[in-house]
């Protein structure tokens, strides 16, 4: 799929989705839209992803695209009216538009009319499909092995670890695929259920449905985890993914220096405690040992300090560990 | 509130909501509508609840009512067209109509027009409020002690235990209240969030919001639990209620003879295992020991066999236990 990424005034630091797509998606990115850095290229800002020109608007995109992806998520999830001309232009050219906003494009009369007129689609990835339902408890019936990333908290690198694992497994010649559960993962993969937005009774079912869809076409599935099993707000989502995916193994993700649940007055227990929590909660539904750890060491300093932090983390968990970005996921794949 | 209960052709055995309201609600039930048993009274069928005449239709209800409650839930949750005349009559008399159907009354053009014309309300209890959000992790800030009923499975008596505990505590002079989380509990109490229908990200938040609403007006709150922490489909809801309510104590509910998760090919672990699972999962958010057990002994046989089953259950849990319906909740209240 050939795409353009809208990231006005936010690229690259506050454009997590755009950078995720550049780094991990199979899409061919023909342009990034950012009126502030227009004229630069992606490599001027992020060297280790696919390159693309940065342009000021859809009018400056010379090549045809299949879709315009909204690659930023403003606080509140609204639609910035300054994006409207770009979305309009994309639709007029017959391109789909993909967004993860709270504001649904398909409820916008102008966009809907243009999409109908030009035969293209509006895809609001935060809007769950209508036909989801309760889990049947049969995700373990697929032929693929299922590995789930779990975490000590939100934003400790579960999506990154999942993407890195899929890429590295494929490089080793393993037929691996990702099961995306959040909006960035869904945009990277081009499909998926936004688990945090489904009806709570369907949380496990919405994951199971994806496993059943893909589990006999691949040898190894990596499920993108969400939240943490002890998160005071989001643990329901975590628990539903754990039981809905019926994993064979878990990879525990953590971030150096994180000692409180982000944004909450709640201590993070010793990381070793999470191993018992996740394993004992999973076991009655599906035996799933924690087989490896993934540690975000950006806060650790240099590579030597990072190695020390990883060693300490590995020892606390009793399994191999790595920083997927800094040192690659080799040790995790070996452990699998 | 003076109410009539619609239970056509299902009273009493397949009218769980109607019987729950008769048994536990403070509402004054002036009639049950069941065209099959019309002419009988409630006591002809269920002796240990408030009595009321059973009539064939709203036209036979002599006294004025505040609300008509749909007290049955057909498979699929649709509206039976044969109920329409009764709902119409209730609205024309200015009565509210309360339903827990998947089919929302407020989306029915005729009902909506009648409700507007006669100044009464349609309340679809399965429809969550629009203003729910994520939890702040502050349910423990209220002055009341919070007790949550948890279970080994669905349908093991959590709602019944919760209602019995509230009633018994009030009889002892304790200012106790119920936090309802399911449709029958909501109809009994006349308020509440249907936790299984909220957006999964808001599961804990929708419980917390209710605790904050009531927690400084009472000394003791009993939160109606849902599902089971190891249920392959519904554990997300259970986990969200556990962390969202930040309980001080748990009461573990179970049913004699239940050895598989109902409807699933999954063994129920030894009941003692649940104590560790619930306590260790709750602890990082809120220390909440399992202080008592509630056992549904209907499948045990006579009272002596029931006592034996309760003794065995109590020993496995290491805490006092009872059957709330057969022997009362005295031992549980004592343990609190």
The answer to whether A204 contacts B280, with C-beta atoms less than 8 Å apart, is no
- Taking CB atoms and an 8 Å cutoff, what residues of chain B touch A201? 196-197, 233-234, 236-237
Percentage above 70 pLDDT, chain B = 100
- Taking CB atoms and an 8 Å cutoff, what residues of chain B touch A205? 233
| B76 has pLDDT over 80 | no
pTM of the model: 0.94
Entry field: residues in chain A: 336
pLDDT tens string A55-111: 999 999 988 999 999 999 877 788 999 999 999 999 999 999 999 998 999 999 999
Helix%, strand%, coil% for chain A, nearest 5? 40, 20, 45
CATH architecture of B2-124: 3-Layer(aba) Sandwich (3.40)
β partners of residue B166: none
What residues have CB less than 8 Å from B71, skipping those under 6 apart?
A: B5, B6, B7, B11, B15, B17, B18, B19, B21, B32, B187
CB nearest B201 (choices: A134, A197, A246): A197
CB nearest B135 (choices: A232, A265, A285): A232
The answer to whether B199 contacts A196, with C-beta atoms less than 8 Å apart, is yes
What is the per-residue pLDDT for A38?
97
What is the per-residue pLDDT for B200?
96
| A21 has pLDDT over 90 | yes
- Taking CB atoms and an 8 Å cutoff, what residues of chain B touch A237? 200-201, 203, 236
The predicted model gives B189-202 an average pLDDT of 95
What residues have CB less than 8 Å from B212, skipping those under 6 apart?
A: B138, B139, B141, B142
| A208 has pLDDT over 90 | yes
CB nearest B204 (choices: A197, A203, A235): A235
Q: β-pairing, B145-151 with B249-255?
A: parallel
- Taking CB atoms and an 8 Å cutoff, what residues of chain B touch A240? 200, 235-236, 239
Distance CA B116, CA B107 (A): 13
List the beta strands (DSSP E) in chain B.
2-6, 28-33, 54-55, 67-70, 96-99, 122-124, 145-151, 176-179, 220-223, 249-255, 290-296, 321-322
Q: Quick one: angle between helices B235-245 and B271-282, nearest 10?
A: 50
The answer to whether A232 contacts B266, with C-beta atoms less than 8 Å apart, is no
The answer to whether B236 contacts A237, with C-beta atoms less than 8 Å apart, is yes
The answer to whether A232 contacts B264, with C-beta atoms less than 8 Å apart, is no
Choose among B209, B159, B203, B210: nearest CA to B184.
B159
For residue A220, the surrounding DSSP H or E stretch is strand A220-223
The answer to whether A243 contacts B237, with C-beta atoms less than 8 Å apart, is no
| B213 has pLDDT over 90 | yes
CB nearest A281 (choices: B203, B229, B264): B229
Tell me which of A245, A264, A284 to substitute to probe the interface with B (most B C-beta atoms closer than 10 Å): A284
Distance CA A309, CA A51 (A): 32
| B335 has pLDDT over 90 | no
pLDDT tens string A215-238: 999 999 999 999 999 999 999 999
What is the per-residue pLDDT for A336?
87
What is the per-residue pLDDT for A77?
81
Which option is the CATH number for A139-335: 3.40.50.300, 2.60.40.10, 3.40.50.10360, 3.30.1200.10?
A: 3.40.50.300
The predicted model gives B184-198 an average pLDDT of 95
pLDDT tens string A115-157: 999 999 999 999 999 999 999 999 999 999 999 999 999 999 9
Check residue A149 and report its DSSP letter: E
Residues of chain A with CATH 3.40.50.720: 2-124
Label each residue of B285-325 as H, E or C: CCCCCEEEEEEECHHHCCHHHHHHHHHHHHHHHCCCEECCC
Q: Cα angle vertex B16, ends B12, B21, to 5°?
A: 95
- List the structure tokens of B10: 């299902």
Spatial contact of A100 and A189, defined as CB atoms under 8 Å apart:
no
B235 to chain A, closest Cα gap in Å? 6
Distance CA A235, CA B208 (A): 14
- List the structure tokens of A319: 């399994």
What is the per-residue pLDDT for B74?
78
What residues have CB less than 8 Å from A234, skipping those under 6 apart?
A: A154, A196, A226, A227, A228, B134, B201, B204
CB nearest B236 (choices: A231, A236, A261): A236
Residue found under tokens 């391109």: A95
Does B201 contact chain A (CB < 8 Å)? Answer: yes
Mean pLDDT of chain B: 96
B40 to chain A, closest Cα gap in Å? 38
The answer to whether B284 contacts A230, with C-beta atoms less than 8 Å apart, is yes
For B263, the closest chain A residue by CA position comes to: A136
**Rounded to whole angstroms, what are the CA distances from B3 to A163, B19, B31, B33, B319?**
57, 13, 7, 11, 40
Residues of chain B with CATH 3.40.50.300: 139-335
A296 to chain B, closest Cα gap in Å? 22
Phi/psi region, residue A206 (left: phi>0; alpha: psi -120 to 50; beta: rest), is: alpha
The answer to whether B243 contacts A235, with C-beta atoms less than 8 Å apart, is yes
What is the per-residue pLDDT for B102?
86
Distance CA B159, CA B183 (A): 10
What is the per-residue pLDDT for A63?
87
- For residue B246, name the pLDDT band (cuts at 50, 70, 90): very high
pLDDT tens string B125-170: 999 999 999 999 999 999 999 999 999 999 999 999 999 999 999 9
The answer to whether B196 contacts A196, with C-beta atoms less than 8 Å apart, is no
- List the structure tokens of B108: 């029915």
Query: Chain B neighbours among A 270-289 (CB < 8 Å)?
Result: 273, 276-277, 280-281, 284-285
Spatial contact of A281 and B230, defined as CB atoms under 8 Å apart:
yes
What is the per-residue pLDDT for B313?
98
pLDDT tens string A236-260: 999 999 999 999 999 999 999 999 9
What is the per-residue pLDDT for B78?
87
pLDDT tens string B249-296: 999 999 999 999 999 999 999 999 999 999 999 999 999 999 999 999
Distance CA B222, CA B210 (A): 12
- For residue A287, name the pLDDT band (cuts at 50, 70, 90): very high
Spatial contact of A181 and A192, defined as CB atoms under 8 Å apart:
yes
What is the per-residue pLDDT for B75?
75
Q: Within a 10 A sphere around the Cβ of A202, how many other Cβ atoms?
A: 27
The answer to whether B236 contacts A204, with C-beta atoms less than 8 Å apart, is yes
Give A304's Cβ-side CA count (13 Å radius): 0
Distance CA B299, CA B305 (A): 10
- For residue B15, name the pLDDT band (cuts at 50, 70, 90): very high
């Amino acid at each position: 799929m050939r795409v353009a990424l809208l990231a006005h005034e936010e690229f690259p630091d506050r454009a997590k989705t755009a950078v995720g797509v550049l780094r991990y998606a199979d899409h061919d990115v023909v342009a990034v839209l950012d009126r502030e850095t227009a004229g630069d290229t992606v490599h001027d800002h992020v060297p280790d992803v696919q390159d693309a020109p940065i342009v000021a608007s859809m009018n400056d995109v010379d090549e045809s695209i299949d879709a315009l992806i909204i690659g930023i998520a403003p606080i509140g999830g609204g639609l910035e009216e300054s994006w409207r001309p770009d979305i309009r232009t994309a639709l007029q050219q017959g391109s789909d538009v993909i967004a993860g906003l709270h504001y649904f494009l398909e409820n916008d009369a102008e966009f809907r009319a243009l999409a109908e007129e030009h035969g293209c689609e509006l895809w609001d990835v935060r809007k769950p499909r209508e036909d989801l339902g309760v889990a049947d408890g049969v995700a373990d019936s697929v032929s693929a092995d299922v590995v789930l990333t779990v975490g000590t908290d939100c934003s400790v690198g579960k999506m990154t670890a999942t993407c890195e694992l899929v890429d590295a497994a494929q490089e080793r010649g393993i037929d691996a695929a990702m099961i995306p559960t959040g909006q960035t993962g869904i945009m990277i993969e081009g499909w998926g259920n936004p688990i945090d937005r489904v009806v709570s009774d369907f949380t496990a079912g919405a994951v199971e449905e994806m496993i059943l869809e893909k589990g006999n076409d691949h040898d190894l599935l990596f499920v993108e985890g969400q939240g943490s099993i002890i998160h005071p707000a989001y643990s329901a989502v975590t628990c539903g993914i754990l039981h809905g995916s019926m994993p064979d193994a878990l990879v525990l993700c953590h971030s150096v220096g994180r000692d409180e649940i982000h944004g909450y007055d709640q201590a993070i227990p010793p990381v070793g405690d999470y191993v018992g929590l996740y394993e004992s909660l999973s076991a009655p539904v599906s035996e799933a040992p924690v087989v490896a750890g993934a540690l975000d060491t950006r806060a650790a300093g240099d590579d030597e300090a990072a190695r020390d932090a990883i060693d300490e983390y590995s020892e606390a968990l009793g399994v191999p560990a790595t920083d997927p970005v800094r040192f690659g996921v080799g040790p995790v794949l070996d452990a699998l």
